Structure 1
Amino acid sequence: MIQRRRILQAFAPVPAMLMDGRAFAQSTPIRILVGAPAGGSTDTLARTLSIEMGRLLGRTVIVENRPGAGGNIAADAVAKAAPDGNTLLMSFTSHAINASLYPSLPFDPVKDFTPLTCVATSPSVLVAHPSLPAKDVRELIALAKAKPGKLNFAIGAVGSSLHLAGDAFKMQSGAYIVNIPYRGTAPALQDVLAGQVDLMFAAVGNAQAQIRAGKLKALGVTSAKRLPAFPDVPAIAEVLPGYESSAWFGLFGPGQMNPELAKRLSDAARQAIATPDVKKRLELEGAVPVGNSPDEFARFVQAEIPRWAKVVKFAGAKPE
């Protein structure tokens, strides 16, 4: 009987009482704040994750959208929330970019948050209108250098990871390509499809249907290696060694969270990421599941901030 009880306890839901003595109250929903509008990739991934996390924790987990200021509104709310595990943040690459993009922030992107896990990364693809006379990245660089300022990039959002993917490309290649900003990815992509703009870095999930239909030409992917979805499309790193620019989505809590609480939430998120339903949803979004430990994610975020700062400085980007 004792052995049976121990086995049952080992597979029981995460306990409600934590090491710091405060209740992880089951009557209170866990809120995951998202600094992006409903329907986008960050929101979709948060909602998919919330269902499995709720099941694993034996709690209600809801998603609350607080878009604006590149994710800073939601991040500020979480930074100022009690570290009791009831308010979390599903953030994205801008969490690291904003540290240098904005002249000042009402929070510290490292000290005021507890990293729980990186949920997924999302490589992008460099696409062009089929009429562009370059079939790969090497030919594109040669064309841009032969005609400096004649080619252009459509930018869906100034300061976004896709915007800075283009500036990182220009920084490493030495090519001069003009940025044309848009208010949103959809109109930017539409103008590339129409041939009004030459090039764009687009999320794989947004562009793969048009690539397969021959309406867009894929020149290279931003991951370190080729993607299984496009095995014939080279990684840009094959021409520009060291080039890599993937968006990422991560789960944070407020700073100063109890380590045991942070571990329980991280473990639940990581188990959720590993489930078939969540993995399938991530793949539909063109994302690659990660699910690393809090320490690994913390080191990743700390490295991302100075990496993006170099690109922001090169681009001279300013928040909209």
Structure 2
Amino acid sequence: MHRRTFMGVLGAGALAASGVAHAQTPTTRIVVGATPGGGTDTVARVLAAELGRVMGETFVVENRPGAGGNIAAQEVARATPDGRTLLMCYTSHAINATLYPKLPFDPIKSFTPVVHVANAPSILLAHPSVKANNMAELIALAKAEPGQLSMGLPGIGSAGHLGAEVIMLETGIDVLLVPYKGTAPAMTDVLGGQVSMMFAGAALAKGQLKSKALKPLGISSAQRMSVYPDIAPIADTIPGYDFSAWYGLLGPAGMDAGRTKKLSEATTQVLNDAKIKGQLLEEGLLVEGGAPAEFQRFLQTEIERWGTVVKASGAQAG
């Protein structure tokens, strides 16, 4: 299904879900720390529509962009823990724990984990002029021409930024990192050849790969993706490399265990639906699901893992 068509379906579903708000109360808000139309927003709207159908309740998406997701996180952390305000958190939730010296909430203690929703691998895309066709060749080229290659970053402290830092730390190569305010301007300069390469979500990369405007050097997940079977994991060249982005649902600290379990199980049911799983795979997402305790352990591990990278790279919030 084409992205535009899929987004149209999501929009219709979200409207359908919100349309019954007059008949059913209370409404559950899914707060998103990003603007409409992006990956986080897309996942939230899938769940808003499908959870409404499965649970017979009303779910609506509210966008609260800014500060790398911290504005949305703060709003949810301060909300009444009645299970009616949830945060669609993203990788930045784990990164920000170290990237920001002082947060108005605790990334773990201020929240109730609900469910790990999905992982979102990225593809390292390069301009055709780059004389490398895989990670081994890229590393060799960068060592032969230190400082000559450049990588666009969608933002300081983003998963793409820190994923690039890990490559340099692990291989010792010198690549110029060029920060942008978002993925779109970075992509424009990579397409124009002003910048050598960048990480892009699998869904965003699809069009560039199909048109051969850019070429893939590797994928950030530990295993190949079924929709991109010919793109080798970066881990094949840099052992242990697995720096994919992810999505999850959190609520305020102190949420009722019964409500948390119900939401977790309903979300897992939605994610295991073959149609939904296939649609999300087309968007470059690998569904997860599972119990709240599993997401809690995952989140703690991610905070420690990304924290190590933030400290080693010296990255600071802008």
Query: Shared topology, TM-score over 0.5?
Result: yes
1:219 and 2:217 equivalent? yes
Q: State the shift of 1:242 in Å.
A: 0.3
Q: Distance in 2 between matches of 1:312 and 1:130?
A: 31
Corresponding residue to 1:204 among 198, 202, 205 = 202
Q: Is residue 122 of structure 2 the alignment partner of residue 127 of structure 1? A: no
Q: Partner residue of 2:301? A: 303
Alpha-carbon distance between aligned partners in 2 of 1:234 and 1:275, rounded to the nearest angstrom = 28
CA distance in 2, matches of 1:41, 1:143: 32
The aligned counterpart of 2:16 is none
CA contact (8 A) 1:48 1:281 kept: no
Measure, in 2, the Cα distance between the counterparts of 1:205 and 1:78: 28
1:62 pairs with 60, 63, 72, which one? Answer: 60
Whether 1:179 and 2:181 are equivalent positions in the alignment is no
- Corresponding residue to 2:285 among 273, 276, 287: 287
Q: Which residue of 2 aligns with 1:48?
A: 46
AA aligned to 2:220 is T
Distance between the aligned counterparts of 1:45 and 1:280, measured in 2?
A: 13
Number of residue equivalences: 296
- Counterparts in 2 of 1:103-252, with a 5 A limit? 103-252=101-250
Provide the residue aligned with 1:20 in structure 2: none
1:259-274 to 2 correspondences below 5 Å: 259-274=257-272
State the match for 1:18 in structure 2: none
Tell me the amino acid that sits aligned with residue 238 of structure 1.
Answer: D
Deviates more, 1:77-86 or 1:279-288: 279-288
**Does the CA contact (< 8 Å) of 2:218 and 2:233 recur in 1?**
yes
Q: In the TM superposition, what whole-angstrom CA distance separates every residue of 1:9-67 from its partner, at most 9, and x where no partner exists?
A: xxxxxxxxxxxxxxxxx511100100000111101110111111112222111000000
Query: CA offset at residue 212 of structure 1?
Result: 2.2
Quick one: distance in 2 between partners of 1:307 and 1:157? 19
Secondary structure at the aligned position of 1:250 is classed as strand
- Whichever residue aligns with residue 38 of structure 1, its letter is P
Please identify runs of 4+ aligned residues in structure 1 that moved more than 6 A.
Answer: none
* SS of 1:252 mapped into structure 2: strand
- In the aligned structure 2, how far is the partner of 1:238 from the partner of 1:258? 43
CA distance in 2, matches of 1:27, 1:223: 41
Query: How many Å separate the matches in 1 of 2:44 and 2:218?
Result: 28
Unaligned 5+ runs, structure 1:
1-25
The answer to whether the Cα contact below 8 Å between 1:94 and 1:160 also exists between their aligned partners in 2 is yes
State the shift of 1:277 in Å: 4.1
Letter in 2 for 1:205: A
> Is the 8 Å Cα contact of residues 159 and 319 (structure 1) preserved in structure 2?
yes
- Does 2:91 match 1:87? no
Q: Aligned partners of 1:201 and 1:245: how far apart in 2? A: 11
**Deviation of 1:211 (Å):** 1.2
TM-score after normalising by structure 1: 0.90
Could you tell me how far apart the structure 1 residues matched to 2:304 and 2:186 are?
Answer: 28
CA separation in 1, counterparts of 2:201 and 2:217? 14
Q: Deviations over 1:213-235 (max 9, x none)?
A: 21111011111012222222211
Aligned residue type for 1:79: A
Distance, in Å, in 1 between the alignment partners of 2:218 and 2:268 is 30
Contact residue 227 and residue 282 of structure 2 kept, 8 A: no
SS of aligned partner of 1:62: strand
Report the CA distance between 1:198 and its aligned residue: 0.5
Residues 33 and 64 in structure 1, CA contact (< 8 A), matched pair in contact too: yes
Q: Report the CA distance between 1:78 and its aligned residue.
A: 0.7
Higher-Rg structure is 1
SS at match of 2:278: helix
CA RMSD of aligned residues (A): 1.3
**Which residue identity does 2:137 align to in structure 1?**
E
Letter matched to residue 137 of structure 1: M
Q: Please report the TM-score for the alignment, with normalisation by the length of structure 2.
A: 0.90
Distance 1:31 1:230 in 2: 34
